[in-house]
Amino acid sequence: MAKHHPFEIKIDKLTRSIENAISGDSFKTEVLELSLGDIRKLIKKDWLFKWDVEAKSKDRKVYKLVIIDNPNIIQGLISLQDRKDHFFMTLIESNKFNRGNKKLYLGVPGNLVAFACKLSFDKGYGGYVSFESKTNLREHYKKALKAHLLFGNFMAINSKSATKLIEQYFPK
């Protein structure tokens, strides 16, 4: 079984889609399953995790966040494990150009988490999503995602919090 890593990604801003950090322009996005072709195109220096290994794991699926008008550039990735009553986020990462103080787009991590919540509702799991957090980020996730501490560093997003995230990123 592949190892999962505690979350260490900051939720920079909850946006409607993703937002250019300089201009404030908003871009419509979609989340798609990562394909074999995508895996071959991933440039190792742009990513901290070994997404090729993650994508080959039999018990999870990797999804990519792209701008609708520019689907060839991956903005961020998330790996989800179906636990049959909720989804467990095993990994989440923004592309290199969306990390740090000089990031190009805001809202990438929030967008991916909202997608996980939406998928959970779609599967009949009530929006429930869990993940393991780095200790120093637990309070951040409580505030940004309205996540709840389960035990140790394991946290969960419940139906109410999931609904708010989905309404933010996937307005009707």
**Residue boundaries of the structural domains of the chain:** 18-169
What are the pLDDT digits (tens) for 125-161? 999 999 999 888 899 999 999 999 999 999 999 999 9
Q: Do residues 20 and 105 touch, judged by C-beta distance below 8 A? A: yes
Q: Where are the beta strands (DSSP E) in the chain?
A: 18-20, 26-27, 29-33, 61-67, 70-82, 87-94, 105-106, 129-132, 148-151, 154-157
User: How far is residue 116's CA from residue 89's CA, in Å, rounded to a whole number?
Assistant: 8
User: How far is residue 43's CA from residue 49's CA, in Å, rounded to a whole number?
Assistant: 11
What are the pLDDT digits (tens) for 93-113? 999 999 998 999 999 999 999
What does CATH list as the number for 18-169? 3.40.630.30
Q: Model pTM?
A: 0.90
Output 113 or 13, whichever has higher pLDDT.
Answer: 113
